[in-house]
Amino acid sequence: DQQVKQNSPSLSVQEGRISILNCDYTNSMFDYFLWYKKYPAEGPTFLISISSIKDKNEDGRFTVFLNKSAKHLSLHIVPSQPGDSAVYFCAARGSGAGSYQLTFGKGTKLSVIP
Amino acid sequence: EPEVTQTPSHQVTQMGQEVILRCVPISNHLYFYWYRQILGQKVEFLVSFYNNEISEKSEIFDDQFSVERPDGSNFTLKIRSTKLEDSAMYFCASSARRGANEKLFFGSGTQLSVL
């Protein structure tokens, strides 16, 4: 059961360039999407989110794009910095009444090379 | 910045033993969660808790699991009789509000090893 898929387990990017992390989902009931960043020995840290009524949300160097018809979202980091090296999780939440659980992808490990 | 605190950071137990994982959510938060991540797998939802009762739980959260908010600050996850497959990193999370734009804050986790 992989309702949220992150097909790239890892990604390496040069410092200063753009990092693009991708996420696909299968459940059309998902209406809210989040990206979390996780460093080793720490819990996931909220990064940015997007509601299904939008197709883009931007916060500083981070932008999330949502393509509902393709059931695809992506996280862009520009410019990438070595401190961005972490595991990035895509997560989604359904619109069903009383359902607030997050469904996570398996994560993509981003390495930003100085 | 306020944070969610989890103790212990590591817990080793024998199969069949009871364990209690402890969490102190952010003080003004009202909604509490437990998630877990088995090594190499994705983070999975276990249970959500609000107003002193479970509001949602997953299939993983069977009769061996229970949650409690024994006082105004702690939020605990109890596993009554641990199994080998319960070995995982357990994350507590809290949020200030539900609905649109809910933002979960996670603790650093408790690594549970069942031998």
What are the pLDDT digits (tens) for B71-113?
878 999 999 999 999 999 999 999 998 776 788 999 999 999 9
Contact residues, A window 54-113, toward B, CB-based 8 Å cutoff: 89, 91, 93, 98-107
| Amino acid A95: pLDDT | 67
Question: How far apart, in whole angstroms, are the C-alpha atoms of residue B36 and residue B108?
Answer: 11
Considering only CB atoms, A43 lies closest to which of B102, B103, B106, namely B106
Q: Which residues pair with B20 in a beta bridge?
A: B78
Contacts of residue B107 in chain A, CB cutoff 8 Å? 43
Question: How far apart, in whole angstroms, are the C-alpha atoms of residue B89 and residue B95?
Answer: 20
Q: Which residues pair with B34 in a beta bridge?
A: B47, B92
Q: Which two tokens stand for residue B15?
A: 């199969």
Q: Is B107 in contact with A43 (Cβ distance < 8 A)? A: yes
Residues B23-38 have a mean pLDDT of 94
Please answer whether residues B50 and A98 qualify as being in contact, where contact means their C-beta atoms are separated by less than 8 angstroms.
Answer: no
Asked if pLDDT for residue A1 goes beyond 70, the answer is: no
Q: What is the DSSP string of B32-58?
A: EEEEEE-TTS-EEEEEEEETTEEEEE-
Question: How far apart, in whole angstroms, are the C-alpha atoms of residue A5 and residue A104?
Answer: 8
Contacts of residue B58 in chain A, CB cutoff 8 Å? 101
Q: Is A98 in contact with B56 (Cβ distance < 8 A)? A: yes
Considering only CB atoms, B109 lies closest to which of A43, A46, A91, namely A43
pLDDT, tens only, A47-96: 999 999 999 999 999 999 999 999 999 999 999 999 999 999 999 998 66
Question: How far apart, in whole angstroms, are the C-alpha atoms of residue A58 and residue A97?
Answer: 28
Question: How far apart, in whole angstroms, are the C-alpha atoms of residue A90 and residue A84?
Answer: 15
Please answer whether residues B35 and B48 qualify as being in contact, where contact means their C-beta atoms are separated by less than 8 angstroms.
Answer: no
| Amino acid A71: pLDDT | 96
Question: How far apart, in whole angstroms, are the C-alpha atoms of residue B70 and residue B88?
Answer: 24
Please answer whether residues A50 and A72 qualify as being in contact, where contact means their C-beta atoms are separated by less than 8 angstroms.
Answer: no
Q: Is B42 in contact with A42 (Cβ distance < 8 A)? A: no
Contacts of residue B55 in chain A, CB cutoff 8 Å? 98, 100
| Amino acid B40: pLDDT | 86
pLDDT band at A98 (very low <50, low <70, confident <90, very high): low
| Amino acid A99: pLDDT | 73
Q: Is the dihedral of CA A110, A112, B4, B8 positive or negative?
A: positive
Considering only CB atoms, A51 lies closest to which of B56, B98, B100, namely B100
Contact residues, A window 3-62, toward B, CB-based 8 Å cutoff: 4, 32, 36, 41-46, 49, 51
Please answer whether residues B23 and B77 qualify as being in contact, where contact means their C-beta atoms are separated by less than 8 angstroms.
Answer: yes
pLDDT, tens only, A16-32: 999 999 999 998 889 89
